[in-house]
Structure 1
Amino acid sequence: MRVSLLGTGDTTGTPTVGCDCDTCERAREEGLERTRFSVHVENERTDESLLIDFSPDFRYQFLRDGVSLPDAAIITHVHFDHLDGLGNVFRVVDSLDVYAADQPDPRTGESVAETVRTDYHYLDRIDVHPTTPLETVRLCGFDVTLVPVEHPPLVCYGVAIEDPETGAKLSLTGDTSYNVPQDSRDVLADPDLLLADAIVPASLCEHHPAGGRHENEDGVPRTFGTKHMTREGALELAAELNADRTRLVHLAHYYPAAEAFEAPLAVDGEQYRLTPAGVSQSETDRPGKI
């Protein structure tokens, strides 16, 4: 299993358009970037690939990183930074199977699958497959399970992806607070690689109108506002899930410049190979690799 981090940023990405903060300036100077979220997972056994979410930066990401076009895709939720790149499949692929949750959203009355099908009705090259959370499906030779997480006000899902032959496992928390249901934690547990939402450090919760939530024993917020984990919350969740290796994603440009690109915070272009021997990071000559 080869995992490529196409997009590791939040809604605005880093550097952010029109922003001259120290973090964005450092990103520009050093050629670092975090485009909107997307992950490419290649099955080297079957020569197939699975895409997690359609970043609005789809075209740029695929040209930049040279990964193969997907044979199937998953959409975790309907926020624009995870969905609006879907239109790029027009005239790019002959057909594409897109999988999304089938449970109705209490706010919209539609499931993620129904919203995708309605909003992209004009894309006759995609086939939307409603998928029941916590039930495993076989995609591109992988066992894939959507898991409910907490990302109000809309429903959102994390994903567990396991190779049934090698046992390699990738887990993605999806956009979520620290309050991930136990059933979902059970499915996400024991990954070789965990990609965890960690939008900002906990110290910035004081600047959010809703403050922070889900404080640990030391009073450190593990949720920023209501929708995303803090760095500290994501790392605590990683420990609870017994992740072998963790990279933090969906990162905002509000991280202080001195720590914004330090491990385990990810940047675009990182690649990992998951094998029975463990996780190895692929080398790349792209600037800004950490």
Structure 2
Amino acid sequence: MQVTLLGTGDTTGTPTAGCSCDTCEYAREHDVERTRYSVHVHNERTGESLLVDASPDFRYQFLERDVDLPDAAVITHIHFDHLDGLGNAYRLLSSLPVYAADETDPNTSESVADTVERRFDYLDAITAHPQTPLEPFETCGFEVTLLPVDHPPLVCYGLVVEDPETGAKLSLSGDTSFGIPESSRERLRGADLLLADGIVPAHMSEHHPYGGKHEDDSGVPRTFGTKHMTIEGAKSLGEELNAADTRVVHVSHYVPADEAFEDPLAVDGERYEL
């Protein structure tokens, strides 16, 4: 299993357009970036590739990285920075099965799979394949499981991608607070690589109108506001789940420049062989 981090940023990316903050300036000067979130998972055994979330930066990401176009995709939730890249299937892909949860969101009255089908009904290449959370399904030679997480007000999912032949395991937290249900935590546990959402350092929680929550024993917030983990929360999750390696993703440009590119915060283009 070859995992390529196509996009490791949040909804505006780093550098952010029109921003001259120290972090964005550092990124420009050192030619590093975090485009909107997306992960490419290649199966060397079958030659197939799975795309986890379709970034609006799809075209740029696939031009920039030496990876194959996807044979299938999984969409974790309907925020534009994870969904809108599916429009790139137009005149580019002849077929793209898109797997997404079948659970109806009370806030939208439709599931993620329903939204994919409705939003992209004009693209013949895209077919929505509804999947029940916590029940494994097969695609691209992998066993994949969608896992409910905590990203209010919308339903959102992390996932596990496993190779049944080699035993390689990739876990992705999805966009989430630290309040991930125990049933999902148990499935995420023991990964060779965990990609964990960590949007800002815990000390920045004082700037959020809702502050921070899910404090650790030292009082450090592991959730920033209500929707995302802090960087400390992402690291803590990796330790709790006994991940062999944890990379922090969905990182914002609000992270101070002297912290923004420290290990284990990921940047675009990182590649892992599991």
Task: Give the TM-score normalised by the residue count of structure 1.
Answer: 0.94
TM-fit CA distance, 1:68:
0.2
Aligned to 1:82: 82
Query: Match of 2:109, as an amino acid?
Result: G
Aligned to 2:166: 166
Give the secondary structure class of the aligned counterpart of 2:204: helix
- Segments of 5+ residues of structure 2 without an aligned counterpart are none
Aligned to 1:284: none
TM-fit CA distance, 1:170:
0.2
Aligned to 2:41: 41
Residues 70-219 of structure 1 correspond to what in structure 2 (within 5 A)? 70-219=70-219
Tell me, yes or no, if structure 1 residue 242 matches structure 2 residue 242: yes
Query: Match of 1:110, as an amino acid?
Result: E
TM-fit CA distance, 1:66:
2.4
- Segments of 5+ residues of structure 1 without an aligned counterpart are 275-290
> How large is the Cα RMSD of the aligned pairs?
0.5
Q: Give, in whole Å, the separation in 2 of the partners of 1:7 and 1:24.
A: 16
Residue-by-residue CA offset, 1:61-97 (whole Å, 9 max, x unaligned): 0000021011110000000000011100111111111
Q: Give, in whole Å, the separation in 2 of the partners of 1:235 and 1:264.
A: 8
Q: Give, in whole Å, the separation in 1 of the partners of 2:53 and 2:234.
A: 20
TM-fit CA distance, 1:227:
0.1
Query: Match of 2:85, as an amino acid?
Result: G
Residues 218-237 of structure 1 correspond to what in structure 2 (within 5 A)? 218-237=218-237
Q: Give, in whole Å, the separation in 2 of the partners of 1:208 and 1:133.
A: 31
Query: Match of 1:172, as an amino acid?
Result: L
% identical equivalent positions? 69
Give the secondary structure class of the aligned counterpart of 2:190: coil
Give the secondary structure class of the aligned counterpart of 2:170: strand
Q: Which moved more, 1:24-33 or 1:118-127?
A: 118-127
Residues 45-84 of structure 1 correspond to what in structure 2 (within 5 A)? 45-84=45-84
Query: Match of 2:61, as an amino acid?
Result: Q
TM-fit CA distance, 1:39:
0.1
Aligned to 2:273: 273
Q: Tell me how many residue pairs correspond in the alignment.
A: 274
Aligned to 1:11: 11
